Structure 1
Amino acid sequence: MRYLYFQSKSSLPTNKRWVTPHHQNIISLLQSCSKREELIQIHAQMIRSRLIEDTFYVSRIIAFLAAPSPRSSMAYARRVFDQIHQPNLFSWNSMIRGYANCDAPRDALSLYKLMLRRGFSPDSYTFAVVTKACAHLNALEAGETVRGSVLKCGLESDMFVMTGFINLYAGCGEVNIAREVFDEMRRRDVVSWTSMLSGYARVNRWDEAFLLFDEMRVTGIEPNKVTIMSLISACGQLRALDKGRRLHLRIIENGMERDADVANSIMNMYAKCGSMRNAAEVFERMPVKNSISWNTLVGGFARNGLYKEALTMFQEMACSEVKPDEITIIGALSACAQLGDLQQGKLLHAYIEGRMIARNLFVTNALVNMYAKCGDLAKAEAIFRGMPQRDVFSWTAIISGFVQVSGCKKALSLFEEMQLTDVEPNEVTLVSALSACSQLGALDQGRQIHACIEENNVGKDVCLGNALMDMYAKCGCIEIASRIFHGMPLKDTLSWNTMIGGLATHGHGRAAIDLFNQMQKIGDAEPDSVTLLAVLCACSHSGMVHEGIFYFSSMSSSYGIVPEVEHYGCMVDLLSRAGLIGEASDFIKNMPIAPNSVIWGSLLASCRVHHKMELGQKIAQHIIEIAPNDEGAHVLISNLYAEAGRWDDVRQVRTLMGSRGMEKSPGCSSIEVNGVVHEFFVGDKLLHQYGMIYLVLDGLTHQMNQTVCESCCTL
């Protein structure tokens, strides 16, 4: 019989053996095999020919099954492996690598430990794969043990192995140890440098990443695509536009901008830095644009508030060779939501249906959010109710939508419905629910939400802390609001504004001013126009005229804030409340901006209180001229004439209101009973207990009248 001599390639065990033509045929079949079904047939032939007993040949089957490809099957590979009496190193490495590559790092480590127990010595390839498995698991202790074995085997100078330890330590947050390993390496290639750079980037130590990049260039190591993309990402995270531009110039010099992945990362960096003009320029220069390119630009415009530009890019993409996908659709729907453009949103919805774009959970959530923010709550709820599956974003979109249009009772009803499901609310959901409680004055429900937050250890970020504080302040519990405020580890400008405004509303003007002074002293948040508005309101409600004049006068010089019409209105209210009607009138005349009907109405109300009828009449005539359809202003005018007993003028104003279709909005009060908020309108007879309510009110009125009479008799 003729025999052929066969020597394995470097990827195979390095033993030499004599094989028969039949065996050579099986080897050829193994080398050309591309499907698992073919492998099963070859495996059966090897069993029949007893070739399966040869470790060398069976290792080829294991390598085939454990390779990262659609044909891989680790369960099949393990059955074959467990039948080998003495696996060779190649088989062990193939199995460990297979587990590591198929997201089974625990199995990879378990097999490595079995390998050691059975007396096999790992090589550099084994250690590299095992270190990768440790990195996937963040198993620092196991990694340290592996490193000890590497040192015992004398492989500490193996660049491939030590680069794996850089990734391990950096992935576990031990970037300083990773740097020690890096510095001890005698040889480093571009992968080693990139691993260390990525490690710094992962823990946001960007300055050190850029210093290392400069050092890398000095050593003559040219960065590869991964290096560049890591640094570009760092610039985006840091909002380091200048560094990003310098790096971009180097990329252009090296001709790497033509690579679509690199160009997309550059566009993303510019978008995060707020420079959409630069992002668009990179996009225009791209020789080939893929879906990621278009999505990066559409999403970038939307994130930077350029919603119309985002929709324009979407329309251009729809006309290009690259058609919009789910990510593009979500970005465009978000732009419509922010613009409140219901018509464009409906066109997008029709585009989704017409092109049969997959309505996955994310797209459906975006539709619910768009309809809710555009005010079509009926359509938003219809889509929401038709969803087979809902996540926290689905619930949050519909709840916040109703809060936005003052449908707070419906929002809280939905929140209660959500709590009966398996979906846990997130911070945004809770903020929306607390906002609904604030608007309704629903203290009991607000307290229940607060208790839910505490019981479930929900992380109270600044937004959630602000929402809790606002809810308690608007529900009258200013002391609890104050405790929450002072207990917040981090405060933004809104935190200070909410607390200052709450104190001002509750008549604690001096405390509000003291808190404003504290805000300036601490300096962790800058006052804005809302802050100064709250301060002026505090002065107005507490009669602190001199303080109010001082803060108003120093707005531009001390805080760089140009007074707006609301600030002028506060000053008129401040002077008017203090009875300084003439000063308030002069203040209005000297305003650099035109006063609105609210400002004139504030002065008119004070004229009524302080019996300045002549001035009030002039103001009334002026209001009728500048705000002929302002319902509230006309009611104030009517009340002024009624105060003076000028009933003919009262009738004329009421007749004028009727001819213009104006009706006085009925007064509304709300009260929370057993966690349910009830609203009462003037003259409302729709409540099922209205008879009893009016009976009680009549009784209270009678008691008050008796008390007044008794007091008069006593005097």
Structure 2
Amino acid sequence: MPDTKLAPNLISYSVTISACEKGRNWEQAMLLFEEMQGALIAPDVPSYSATISACQKAGQQPPQLGDLQDQPIFGMCNSVCHLRLEYTGVRVEKAGQWQVALQLFDSMQSGNLSPDIISHSAAISSCEKGGQWQSALHIFAFIQKARLSPDVISYSAAISSCEKGAQWQVAVHMLSHMPAAKLLPNIVSYSASISACEKGEQWQMALHLFSAIPKAMLTPTEISYNATISSCEKGQQWQHALGLFSSMPKAKLTPNIISYGAAINSCEEGSQWQLSFQLFYDMLGAKLTPNLILYRSAISYCELGGR
């Protein structure tokens, strides 16, 4: 545009940032966002939302955070921890995507712009990917304060953040609250809640949620199966773990290394060495590569005189 002596306007910037967001190019989106302000063009809600979404969809590991001069400070608000970030003298490219997303979200509010549900959901998802469950829940709480209605995406992102933080009680509470909000949980909501229960070693609740998936007219995925099997493994429930594992082919799902690993470890902890070795042998037949722990389990079985 500059070559043709046409100055980019708000619409052209927003459209280009959205293109970067769809192309998962968060660095270019941020450069355009900064350039827009340098051109004295005030960002609007769509341009903010697209930039935050670009950070959320980056899908790569954040840069090292060693250059950050200020560390996150945690506080309590309505029984939910929240995060406040200071960015004095810190360049955007030195921060992780979740931190950039939070900075943009805060900038919207300080700039007298009202973040929409897309902005909220993208910011929550960015925090989830960065392992910042407290910040994700803090932003989720802002949705109702802003008189917006949470959607399935924002709920699922918040539940996923609880899973990353091993906050199974909060995850299950949010899942159970969705029908009251006139929302139907999707498979992502269920899988994240089950994973949270698995991390919290709540195998009974994990099984309960897994059994609720078909009742909700949803189809369990490889992720929901693996999380439930792993939960049974941690609860030393090898029969349940093996039953779930065996039912995967019926659900037209192929067990992967995680499925086999959880089932094998579960059988081993239940002193079912022969079943454990048989699963190991089947895994090799499925052309999957065992990790070191699984190899040690097989060797231990042989040392016990199994083979």
TM-score (norm 2): 0.68
Q: Find the counterpart in structure 2 of residue 303 from structure 1.
A: 265
Deviation at 1:100, TM superposition (A): 5.3
3-state SS of the aligned residue for 1:303? helix
Q: What does 1:580-599 correspond to in 2, within 5 Å?
A: none
Q: Distance in 2 between matches of 1:142 and 1:259?
A: 30
Deviation at 1:299, TM superposition (A): 0.5
- Deviation digits for residues 69-102 of structure 1 (CA, Å, limit 9, x no counterpart): xxxxxxxxxxxx9888434656534654565566
Quick one: which of 285, 288, 293 aligns to 1:325?
288
Q: Distance in 1 between matches of 2:187 and 2:225?
A: 11
- 8 Å contact 1:190–1:223 — kept in the other structure? yes
Amino acid at match of 1:149: M
Deviation at 1:329, TM superposition (A): 6.4
Amino acid at match of 1:126: S
Quick one: which of 237, 240, 248 aligns to 1:278?
240
1:110 correspondence with 2:72: no
User: Hey, which of these two has a bigger chunk of helix by percent?
Assistant: 1
- 8 Å contact 2:190–2:210 — kept in the other structure? no
- Aligned-residue RMSD, C-alpha: 3.6
Per the alignment, do residues 207 and 118 of structure 1 end up closer, same or farther by CA in structure 2, a change over 3 Å counting? same
Per the alignment, do residues 307 and 94 of structure 1 end up closer, same or farther by CA in structure 2, a change over 3 Å counting? farther
3-state SS of the aligned residue for 1:274? coil
How much identity, in percent, do the aligned residues show?
A: 17
Q: What does 1:681-696 correspond to in 2, within 5 Å?
A: none
Q: What does 1:255-654 correspond to in 2, within 5 Å?
A: 255-286=217-248, 287-291=250-254, 293-304=255-266, 305=268, 306-317=272-283, 323-326=286-289, 328=290, 332-339=294-301, 341=303
Deviation at 1:331, TM superposition (A): 6.1
- Consecutive unaligned residues of structure 1, counting only runs of 5 or more, are 1-54, 56-80, 346-715
TM-score (norm 1): 0.32
Q: Distance in 2 between matches of 1:90 and 1:335?
A: 60
- Deviation digits for residues 427-475 of structure 1 (CA, Å, limit 9, x no counterpart): xxxxxxxxxxxxxxxxxxxxxxxxxxxxxxxxxxxxxxxxxxxxxxxxx
Q: Distance in 2 between matches of 1:233 and 1:274?
A: 16
Amino acid at match of 2:52: T
Per the alignment, do residues 332 and 241 of structure 1 end up closer, same or farther by CA in structure 2, a change over 3 Å counting? closer
Q: Find the counterpart in structure 2 of residue 572 from structure 1.
A: none
Per the alignment, do residues 303 and 104 of structure 1 end up closer, same or farther by CA in structure 2, a change over 3 Å counting? farther
- Decide which structure has the larger Cα Rg and report it: 1
Q: Distance in 2 between matches of 1:263 and 1:232?
A: 9
- 8 Å contact 1:239–1:272 — kept in the other structure? yes
3-state SS of the aligned residue for 1:256? coil
- 8 Å contact 2:167–2:196 — kept in the other structure? no
Q: What is the aligned length?
A: 260
- Consecutive unaligned residues of structure 2, counting only runs of 5 or more, are 57-61, 63-95
Q: Find the counterpart in structure 2 of residue 161 from structure 1.
A: 119
Per the alignment, do residues 141 and 102 of structure 1 end up closer, same or farther by CA in structure 2, a change over 3 Å counting? closer
Deviation at 1:231, TM superposition (A): 0.3
Q: Distance in 2 between matches of 1:84 and 1:232?
A: 56
Amino acid at match of 2:260: V
3-state SS of the aligned residue for 2:178? helix
Q: Find the counterpart in structure 2 of residue 668 from structure 1.
A: none
1:212 correspondence with 2:174: yes
Per the alignment, do residues 155 and 332 of structure 1 end up closer, same or farther by CA in structure 2, a change over 3 Å counting? same
Amino acid at match of 1:148: S
